[in-house]
Amino acid sequence: MSLTKFGIDDGPHNMDGLRLLARDGTEPVEAFIGRKVMDVWVESIEHRGGRQSLFRDQYNALGKRNLAAIERIVNAKYQRGAAINRQHPYVEVLVSDITESGEVLNLSELVREPLPPAFHGLA
C-alpha cells in the first residue's frame, strides 16, 4: 500500500530537518529528512563549493516545492517494510535513499540569505 495525504510539518517541532506526515490507510506515518541530508542533496545540485547549511524555512519551502519527488522516495523506502527499514513505520530518508532514487530537487525558488559578517571573519 502506498502512503497518502503527505504534508510538510512546518509547525513547531524540535527535529533538525524536514518532518513529513502521511497516512497508511488510517495509520499515521512520520518521515524525516535531516538537515544535513538536505544540505548534501542541495549541494549535489548547486556545486557551490562552500557549504552553507539550510535554515528551517528554506528546507520546509524546498520540501513543499518538491513534495512529489520526496513522496516517491519515502514511499519506496516505506514499501520495503520492517525487514529493511527497522524503524518502520517511521521513515528516515538517508543520502543513500536519495542517491538510489535519482530524484533531483527543484531549487528554482531557493533563496540564500547572506551570512552575517562574523561568519566571513573566521579563518
Find cell 530537518 and name the residue.
Answer: 17
In the prediction, which pLDDT does 86 show? 67
Neighbours of 66 (CB within 10 A): 18
Q: What 3-state DSSP class applies to 110? A: coil
C-alpha closest to that of 59 among 109, 96, 2? 109
CB-based contact 17:33 (threshold 8 Å): yes
Is the pTM here over 0.85, yes or no? no
pLDDT along the chain (123 residues), means of 10: 88 86 93 92 73 82 94 92 74 94 88 64 52
Residues 6+ apart with CB under 8 A from 117: none
CB-based contact 89:20 (threshold 8 Å): no
